[in-house]
Amino acid sequence: MTGAGAGANLLALRSHNAALVLDLLRTAGADGISRLELAERTGLTPQAVSKITARLREDGLAAEAGRRASTGGKPRTVLRLVPEAAYAVGVHLDRDEVRAVLVDLRGTVVGERRAVLDLGAGAGAVLTAVTEAVRVAVTDAVRVADAVRATGADAVRVADAVRATGADAVPVPVTDAVRVADEVRATGADAVPVPVADAVRAKAAEAVRGTATDALPAGPLLARAGSLLGVGVALPGPLDHVRGVLHRVTGFPEWDGFPLREALAERLGVPVVVDKDTNAAALGLAAGGEGGSFAYLHLGTGLGAGLVIGGSVHRGARTGAGEFGHQVIRLDGPPCTCGDRGCLEALCLGAVARGDVEEAARVLGAGAANLVGLLDIDVVLLGGRTVAATPEAFVRGVGAVLGARARRTGEDAVPVRVAPGGGRVVAVGAAQLVLGPVFGRGDG
């Protein structure tokens, strides 16, 4: 049994087995994978795989990707995931800005919106800003991707239709130019969105049942967006991931008890999942191929950690794990926005404010060394806008502290590197809160 884990030939687990197959199709990429390989890697029988892949093809989630020579008999048909069959939105709600990305089933960003925001401006203003960011990310993807990818006379008609009907005309992106052109020809300016396969919608709804209401009201923005599986929202903690309720967000205690998931679901009309920014980033990195156990340290407007232990995001019993920035490392040190003194976050951001990046990296390294000693992780990944401003200095500084620790203990030094994904790492990870369960990843 390898790769996707153990399958089960039981009717009751059909959706689970389909998720295993979908994930293998996703990781195979454009080259695809044969049915025989799917059977070998899931542990399912060839007959079960044939039935699952037939349904996936019928639903538009899988397609043939050619043929591959075999050791005997006729060449094997290779299948691939159809990434444009469904989409998810990821939102990074920071203290001073909001970023929304629209991603396809493969996690590729196809639309994006970034805007200034004040997390202290009140719930109404923040909800409006998030809603607008989601709207623009979705509709801009339609305007740019679909019109550009269409060709000839149809391209003109698609572009004209988008211009004539405004931002709300086409609520979901359809990246197949032929399908877009056919819709425009058939319906004129008011192109009908292409619905995602019922199987994927059902899987997404089931996956977020514990983190979104069962029957969301039809909101004014995305109720018609049949191929949009949901919206993941990531922001600074502390918060309750299971209930989607905020606690006393560091620096903004007025958010304590606010039901963010419920409030956004009402506005957007689709399932919403809420998590801490660092957890979302860690989830996205794991989904993108980062293996083993690692810590993602995010230094931006605050400081936090996303922890992946044994391949799964570690949130703790109350989503309290990863409050990395609020470990006290200097008794009676400078005050922190959390109300304590001498926190790692206060010392690190204080050094940044003074322009002493080397000291900030050294302080961050001290915190990273504590994590390495407690959790025995494989790698430390750095991210956030403050790290992005001088990445070499932070990698060098944190690495020096971890190297010194390794020399004292006689162990190999834990490597330090900048996390891939740049400024999108949290937003893309937030989208994985929705996509993860569709592919059988249960920590979404």
pLDDT one-digit tens code per residue, 87-142: 999 999 999 999 999 999 999 999 999 999 999 999 999 999 999 999 999 988 76
- With cut-offs at 50, 70 and 90, classify the pLDDT of residue 221: very low
34 beta partners: 78
Running DSSP on this structure, what letter comes out for residue 421? T
Q: pLDDT tens for residues 151-189? A: 444 433 443 444 343 333 333 333 333 333 333 333 333
Nearest Cα to 404, choosing from 392, 386, 416, 393?
Answer: 416
- Measuring CA to CA, which residue among 244, 231, 234 is closest to residue 384? 234
Q: Report the chain's C-alpha Rg in angstroms.
A: 23
How confident is the model over 191-215, as a mean pLDDT? 40
Q: Is the pLDDT of residue 45 over 80?
A: yes
pTM listed for this prediction:
0.80
Confidence of residue 146 (pLDDT cuts 50, 70, 90): low
Q: What are φ and ψ of residue 204, in 5° steps?
A: -65, -45
What tens digit of pLDDT does each residue of 337-388 get? 999 999 999 999 999 999 999 999 999 999 999 999 999 999 999 999 999 9
Residue 329's closest CA among 300, 357, 363, 282?
363
The Cβ of residue 250 has, within 10 Å, a number of other Cβ atoms equal to 23
Half-sphere exposure of 340 (CA within 13 A, CB side): 15
Alpha carbons 351 and 335: distance in angstroms, whole number: 14
- In one letter, which amino acid is 106? R
